[in-house]
Structures are given as C-alpha cells and as structure tokens.
C-alpha cells in the first residue's frame, strides 16, 4: 500500500471502517494508455469495449498524427473513455534522457529543467484548451505527468508543476511506485501506477490481485498494448470482483467518500461496467 509511513505494510489500516467500492467490488482498477498511439484507437479501445470497460487515455497532443484522428478520440470520449491532459509537448527531465554526447533525443527538444513556473502553467493550459476544443469539455479531466517526471527547473521544483495542474485537473497520475494505492490515503495529485508494458500478463494480473487482497486501487499504465497480454488481463478483470473505471471516475469516488458525502455512489455513471458482467 502506498500509505504514508507504512511502506510495505500489507492491507489498509484497520482503524477506520472498511472501505467500500461500488458495485460490490473488492478492488478498483484503472487502465491507462499514454501518448495517443494510433494502435490504441485501432485495437486497444475495441478490446476494452468488447470487455465492457472504459479506459483513460493521456494524449500527446504535439505528435504528428493527433489532429488527423481527433474526431476518433472525441468519439471515444463520448462513449465513456477518459481523454486526459498529458501536456502538449511531453517534456521530461533531460537528465534522464541525455545521450552520451550530451544531446537530447529529437522527441524532447525542451526539457523540464528549462521550464519556468509560467511556462509550465501555459503548457498545461494549452493542452486543456486543445482538449476542450477538439475532444470536448470534461470538468473531471485528470492529468498524467509525462515521463513520470514531477518537477520543473533546476533545482527541481515540484510545487510550481502541481500548481499548474490544479488549475485544470483535480487528480494526476504520477509516480511509478508499483504499490497499490490505498483509497484512504492516496494523494490524488500523485496517484501511483504500475508499468503495464510488455508481453507477459502475469505481472499485470498479480498487481490486480494485490489490490483485491487489500481492497486497494491499482492503476496500470500502458503505451502500446500487446494483444495477447491485454486480452488475458481483461479476461481476468471480467471474471473477478473488480470495479474497472477510468482514473477520473475512481478519483472522484475516492474524493467523495473521503469528504463524507453520503451519496458518493451517485457519482458513478450508469455506463460503468459491473464487475464480472
Ligand atoms: Zn507519455
């Protein structure tokens, strides 16, 4: 569980009432797909919908094929998928990606170290504006930190990046800690995700089972999905007592319950797939 001061402690704390997920589920799972790879439109979304699930898609707006397929992404949002903010230019920390000769890769001409607070605010706002105009408004749109890097500037400044995000998004996926998120304590602006890329479904299923065992929330992060592995994961989720929902839907529920709103379950859209349905 990714709870403060209790790293490695299995299961949620027992000092409060049991956490209750909607739809009689024992765990929540969010399936997230980054960068707007066209294979997500062509294969991933049809596989999700065949299973009755909806995912969160964090689009890299500056990529060359984004505008050409914007209408398809827009239609996917209208069918219940989340189209999240992933900035326009997808900047990460240059120190992570610098080549041996000191040059940065072509896809990242401008690293986060060179961003000022105003520049990151403009970057996140530009992405929000593009999404509103091309995909359609979503008051609950969430954010995913590109490259999982959470600081601008040098020395690293996390607060200014977070301040830019909260102007547009109430929750953000950031961090690669494989731990299951504890719904009682997870920081909604730093939701941990498990790296789902690869052709072996076993670690993906194991991370979901871990959530099942402790009543937690596992977020899986993919780029391009491998068909065999993805379908095996979806079959496992359909057969188990999982609530599979976009990040924004689970985060909204977590926030409502923590705020003590008695009607928290009412925030769940009726289109959400029932566990095992
Ligand atoms: Zn990305």
- Give pLDDT, residue 266: 63
Instruction: For residue 146, report the distance from its CA to the centre of ligand 1, in Å.
Output: 4
Q: Longest C-alpha distance within the chain, in Å? A: 58
- Give pLDDT, residue 16: 61
Residue 101 resides in a domain = yes
Q: What is the count of structural domains for the chain?
A: 1
- Give pLDDT, residue 270: 44
Instruction: For residue 12, report the distance from its CA to the centre of ligand 1, in Å.
Output: 30
Residue 275 resides in a domain = no
Instruction: For residue 148, report the distance from its CA to the centre of ligand 1, in Å.
Output: 8
Structural domain including 153 reads: 22-267
- Give pLDDT, residue 5: 38
Instruction: For residue 18, report the distance from its CA to the centre of ligand 1, in Å.
Output: 35
pLDDT in tens, 65-79: 999 999 999 999 999
Residue 162 resides in a domain = yes
Instruction: For residue 144, report the distance from its CA to the centre of ligand 1, in Å.
Output: 8
Instruction: For residue 92, report the distance from its CA to the centre of ligand 1, in Å.
Output: 9
CATH number of the domain bearing residue 132: 3.20.20.370
Instruction: For residue 35, report the distance from its CA to the centre of ligand 1, in Å.
Output: 5
Instruction: For residue 211, report the distance from its CA to the centre of ligand 1, in Å.
Output: 24
Residue 135 resides in a domain = yes
Instruction: For residue 37, report the distance from its CA to the centre of ligand 1, in Å.
Output: 10
Residue 91 resides in a domain = yes
Residue 176 resides in a domain = yes
Instruction: For residue 9, report the distance from its CA to the centre of ligand 1, in Å.
Output: 30
Residue 99 resides in a domain = yes
- Give pLDDT, residue 28: 98
Residues of the chain with pLDDT under 70: 1-16, 176-178, 262, 265-277
Instruction: For residue 142, report the distance from its CA to the centre of ligand 1, in Å.
Output: 14
Instruction: For residue 36, report the distance from its CA to the centre of ligand 1, in Å.
Output: 9
Instruction: For residue 220, report the distance from its CA to the centre of ligand 1, in Å.
Output: 13
Residue 4 resides in a domain = no
Instruction: For residue 106, report the distance from its CA to the centre of ligand 1, in Å.
Output: 15
């Amino acid at each position: 569980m990714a709870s403060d001061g209790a790293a490695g402690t299995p299961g949620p704390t027992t000092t409060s009432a049991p956490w209750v997920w909607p739809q009689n589920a024992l765990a929540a799972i969010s399936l997230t797909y980054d960068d707007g790879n066209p294979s997500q439109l062509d294969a991933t979304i049809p596989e999700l919908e065949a299973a009755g699930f909806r995912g969160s898609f964090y689009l890299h707006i500056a990529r060359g094929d984004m505008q050409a397929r914007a209408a398809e992404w827009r239609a996917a949002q209208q069918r219940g998928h989340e189209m999240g903010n992933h900035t326009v230019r997808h900047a990460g920390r240059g120190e992570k990606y610098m080549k041996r000769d000191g040059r940065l890769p072509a896809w990242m001409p401008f690293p986060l170290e060179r961003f000022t607070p105003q520049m990151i605010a403009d970057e996140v706002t530009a992405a929000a504006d593009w999404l509103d105009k091309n995909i359609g408004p979503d008051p609950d749109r969430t954010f995913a930190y590109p490259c999982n890097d959470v600081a601008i500037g040098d020395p690293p400044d996390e607060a200014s990046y977070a301040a830019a995000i909260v102007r547009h998004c109430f929750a953000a996926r950031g961090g690669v800690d494989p731990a299951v998120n504890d719904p009682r304590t997870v920081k909604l602006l730093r939701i941990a995700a498990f790296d789902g890329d690869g052709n072996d479904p076993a670690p993906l299923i194991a991370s979901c089972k871990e959530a099942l065992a402790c009543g937690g929330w596992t977020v899986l992060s993919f780029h391009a999905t491998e068909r065999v592995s993805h379908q095996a994961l979806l079959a496992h989720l359909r057969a188990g007592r999982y609530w599979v929902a976009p990040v924004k839907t689970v985060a909204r529920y977590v926030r409502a319950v923590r705020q003590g709103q008695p009607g928290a379950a009412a925030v769940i859209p009726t289109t959400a797939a029932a566990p095992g349905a």
